[in-house]
Structure 1
Amino acid sequence: MKPWEILAQAPAPDGGEFVLHHRDGEFVIRVRGQELMSSRVHGSEEEMARLASAALGGVPNPRVLIGGLGLGYTLRATLDALGPSAEVVVAELAAAIVEWNRGPLAPLAGRPLEDPRARVEVADVRRVMRSGAPWNAILLDVDNGPAALTRASNASLYDEPGLTTAHSALAPKGVLVVWSAGPDERFTSRLAQVGFSAETHQVRAGKGRGTRHTLFVARRRK
């Protein structure tokens, strides 16, 4: 088996380092040796977009926020699921991730950042969440979910105050979709406490194969 090739390295916001690896057409981004994202499997990221689109139920001119650019698969699937009048904003804290998505990673998901409906902001998703008009949908694929965190600071996105911010940022009947490496009953309870009606979906990392991931689909009750 061929060894991994390091294509690029960049400081991570918490003082660690993002490392972009490539081998035989597969791209992987790691932090401290831990795999954060891989082009090998991305079915659960695409399912996030499908579930969010279905929950919107044909809302005209939807305004959608994606927390975390990753390798661009969630953005691509969201754009494919929505109509020509959609506005999709991606909040990505790491400038290097955006740069790589405009460079060597761009072809993986069909260059979604070049779509005129998409805009990326190099900023904390919590700040972007509170900006402008209410969002019809918020998709959070930040870190490895509410529990399996690689950055302790991301916990504030998934705790009760963080979820209250998301709830307030959504339009009436808006939907929050959260990606998680695994199930988390305490997180489901927190969603209910702040005013969401939540359900969980177990989906494969790949299309019909691979590890099962958990998607939380939370609808604003009012």
Structure 2
Amino acid sequence: MTHWIDLDSTPIPGARETLHLRRWGEAFSIQVGTAELMTDQDRGSEQALATIPCERLADRPEPRILIGGLGMGFTLRAALGVLGPRAEVVVAELVPGVIAWARGPLAHLHGTSLDDPRVSLVEADVNRLIQSGPGRFDAILLDVDNGPRGMTRRSNDRLYDVWGLKRAHYALRPGGLLAVWSGSPDRRFKARLRRCGFAMEEIRFPAHPGGRRHVLWIGTREEKGAAASTV
């Protein structure tokens, strides 16, 4: 019988938990304890986190995208496949070990994306980059800590609370997009998005046939006086 094989582990800055890279046959998984954060066997929603917002930016000749969380690189690769040659993609990854895995045992998943001239990979908390100035990004894509109901760092809650969403709104250019990936639905988070000035839509993806669903929220920065969507 095949079991998970531990390939490596790495600490998470500011957290007690440790990330583990494991393999089962041809499948790779990043886990916290025995809880799975991501796997290369189920990547559709992570890809959609990039393709849906980036396709909506087709009329912007030089879009600037911020991706929170490198993971296994599915969101980054999907974004590069949609964006034009003058786009800029900034990827913020907090955990140095995840960056090392991208150059090592998971290099086959990342392909040439990290060497793409449009990409800047920054070892940093994405929250810091969001706060770096107003109107800096056309889209912010967040796949951090399993969504608003995090598993690893309490400080990640800052991304998803009211103040975090207001900071994201401030960091977006007019009509900019905030896309958030989550392992499960969250009605309270949907309400917070609307309260913070985003026209919001929710898209659900089956994680496994007959199983729970992953969720994407796409929020569009609205100007003052605009009415929020009731989707």
With normalisation by structure 1, the TM-score equals 0.94
**In structure 2, what is the Cα distance between the partners aligned to 1:152 and 1:218?**
23
Please report how far the alpha carbon of residue 86 of structure 1 lies from its aligned counterpart in structure 2 after TM superposition.
0.8
Q: State how far apart, in whole Å, the 2-side matches of 1:107 and 1:161 are.
A: 38
Cα deviations by residue, 1:137-174 (Å, 9 ceiling, x for unpaired): 00000011112533222111100000011000001110
Q: Which residue identity lines up with residue 203 of structure 1 in the other structure? A: F
* Alpha-carbon separation, structure 2, partners of 1:157 and 1:191: 12
Question: 1:89·1:119 contact (CA, 8 Å) conserved in 2?
Answer: yes
Deviation (angstroms), 1:211 = 4.0
Deviation at 1:210, TM superposition (A): 6.1
Does structure 2 retain, via aligned residues, the 8 Å contact 1:72–1:109? yes
Could you say what the CA RMSD is over the residues aligned between the two structures, in angstroms? 1.7
Q: Which structure 1 residue ranges, 4+ long, deviate > 3 Å from structure 2? A: 208-211
Where 1:76 maps in the other structure, the secondary structure is helix
What is the CA distance between 1:119 and its match in structure 2? Answer: 1.2
Amino acid at match of 1:186: R
**Alpha-carbon deviation of 1:209?**
8.1
Q: Distance in 2 between matches of 1:212 and 1:153?
A: 25
Q: Secondary structure of the residue that 1:56 maps to in structure 2?
A: coil
Q: Check if 1:156 corresponds to 2:158.
A: yes
Unaligned runs of 5+ in 2: 224-231
Where in structure 1 are there 5+ consecutive unaligned residues?
none
Identity %: 48
Q: Which among 171, 174, 179 is matched to residue 173 of structure 2?
A: 171
Q: Which amino acid aligns with 2:12?
A: A
User: How far apart, in 2, do the equivalents of 1:218 and 1:15 lie?
Assistant: 32
Aligned with residue 144 of structure 1, among 132, 146, 151: 146
Q: Which has the higher contact order (CA 8 A, sep 6+)?
A: 1
Query: So what's the TM-score if we normalise by structure 2?
Result: 0.90
